[in-house]
Amino acid sequence: MPFLSQFLTVQDGMVSVADPAAEAMFEAWNAGSQAEIWRRHDGVWSRVYQAPRVPSLVMGAHAPYYTPLAVGFRHMVPYKDRDGVEALYATAGTVSLAHPDYARMLFMSLDGENWTPVETPAAMGRETRTLGVHNGRLYVGAGTATAGALAMGMPVPGAVWCSSKPSDPGSWKQVLYFPDLAPHNTGVVSLASANGWLYIGTENVNGFEVWRSKRSNPTCNADWKRLVKDGAGDRYNAWAGTMRTFRTNVYVGSMSVPGFTGSLAMKAFDIIRVKPDDTWQLLVGDREPTIPVTEGAVRRPLTGLPSGFGMPTNLYCWQMEVYDGYLYVGSMDMSSMLRAGVEAGMELPDMGMPPTVLQFILQLAGFDMWKTPTGLLWLPVTLTGMGDYTNYGARTIRVHDGKLYIGTANPFKGFQVWEGD
């Protein structure tokens, strides 16, 4: 959490404002960071929930500061529990500063309008990057997943939890615990249900891994099998950040963060697919890995397309969705940040590329979206954030009532929602 680190300090498990001059900044951050849920009905958008402010871990001179219960929601999934109760579940995203007595990572609504926090075991943590349904159960991936969790003294082991009645805290069961199985997997950041199995993708400093269950309803570490390791041939690929089932195959898109694996290089995402026979293929990726694997196999992308579809600033394969016979893939493109800096008069650091190439990249700033009918032929949908370079990410892609929707990440103007048919 680089912004918070400007004015917070952590000592002996306690958090405090670094200096009195920072109080106004912290309060401004609190006031503007209450997560919201909006609903569109009959063409009209309305806010149905705003996370309240609750006592936080941050101490003022005489009492705790109040901070948002949640500062973002990463996922929403409809689920019918074992008692037949249908609800919409949302997961908190980004580390919350809420006091443990109040912190929640799961929220639910029976009607889409009224939302309540759901109590879950403390061992699950207070944020997640993945939520999904498999064989009648709701699954959540746990783990550090952000440096913020470590910085705030709240590390959570990489694990998978599930429940058939999420509103009951006692119903949650841990079905995979990586510290006892493969400890370098510090977070479970994606999951997909396919071919009767549950597939998961991990965060791993040595390169992401993909595992699948050996039983339809896994209960312990012995019920899991590793299918992919070493970031699919490039150890720089630290996160198997996105996962989607398409035509019986499980597609996995990587995410990379400069510095996470020890290298500050900028590396675009790769895409692989895992087949029902447990073999996998590299579809999109560079032939030469950024961090090679000792005695690793030669990387030959089946499509011939390099990492990030040739855009070196496409660091995240951020979302995947299936629509009308195609698999859609959306990116997070850091060129938006670079272009914003240039237009603000900033001098960019040496990017290790010719000025003409950098200029070309800046002209194509904004998230990219591609689609494929087979996994081998890919077609561009947009290369410039829907014509707005400030849309740096296709953060959410969903299908509803026969239409495709894209929710953008845009820190400059605010998010946008696009509708296609």
Residues 283 and 359 in one domain: no
Computed over every residue of the chain, the mean pLDDT equals 91
Quickly state the pLDDT bin for 375 (edges 50, 70, 90).
very high
Q: In the structure encoding, which two tokens stand for residue 200, read together?
A: 């998961």
CA distance 281 to 316: 19
Task: Find the distance separating the first CA and the last CA of the chain, reported in whole Å.
Answer: 38
Residues 167 and 103 in one domain: yes
Look up tokens 């998978």; give the residue: 160
Distance, CA of 322 to chain centre: 18
For residue 396, the cross-strand partners are: 407
Residue 14 has pLDDT above 80, yes or no: no
Residues 293 and 333 in one domain: no
Q: Which residue, 279, 308, 328, sits at the end of a domain?
A: 328
Residues 13 and 144 in one domain: yes
The percentage of the chain sitting over the pLDDT mark of 90, rounded to a whole number, equals 76
Residue with the bigger pLDDT between 20 and 358: it is 358
Quickly state the pLDDT bin for 98 (edges 50, 70, 90).
confident
Mean pLDDT for 350-374 is 93
Residues 162 and 258 in one domain: yes
Q: What is the pLDDT of residue 150?
A: 46
Q: What are phi and psi of 335, to 5 degrees?
A: -65, -25
Q: What is the pLDDT of residue 12?
A: 43
Per-residue DSSP letter, 167: T
Q: Which residue, 275, 307, 328, sits at the end of a domain?
A: 328
Residues 348 and 216 in one domain: no
Quickly state the pLDDT bin for 302 (edges 50, 70, 90).
very high
Pick from 249, 297, 292: which is nearest to 267 by CA? 292
Count up the domains in the chain and report the number.
Answer: 2
Q: In the structure encoding, which two tokens stand for residue 49, read together?
A: 């929930």
Residues 50 and 180 in one domain: yes
Q: What is the pLDDT of residue 259?
A: 77
Q: In what order do the strands lie in the sheet with 8-11?
A: 8-11, 14-17, 53-59, 64-68
Residues 250 and 301 in one domain: yes
Residues 292 and 236 in one domain: yes
Residues 337 and 195 in one domain: no
pLDDT tens-digit map of 236-264: 999 999 999 999 999 999 999 887 777 77
pLDDT tens-digit map of 311-335: 999 999 999 999 999 999 999 999 9
Q: State if pTM tops 0.75.
A: yes
310: left (phi over 0), alpha (psi -120 to 50) or beta: left
Residues 211 and 260 in one domain: yes
- Report the CATH number at residue 134: 2.120.10
Distance, CA of 209 to chain centre: 15
**Poorest-pLDDT segment among 24-33, 356-365, 408-417:** 24-33
Q: Which residue, 313, 328, 343, sits at the end of a domain?
A: 328
pLDDT tens-digit map of 116-157: 999 999 999 888 999 999 999 999 999 975 444 444 556 789
Q: What is the pLDDT of residue 2?
A: 43
Residue 19 has pLDDT above 90, yes or no: no
Residue with the bigger pLDDT between 152 and 293: it is 293
β-pairing, 159-163 vs 137-142, is antiparallel
Q: What is the dihedral of CA 157, 182, 72, 138, to 10 degrees?
A: -90
Tell me the H-state helices in 179-257. Answer: 230-233
For residue 407, the cross-strand partners are: 396, 417
Residues 320 and 357 in one domain: no
Domain with 415, as residue range(s), is 329-421
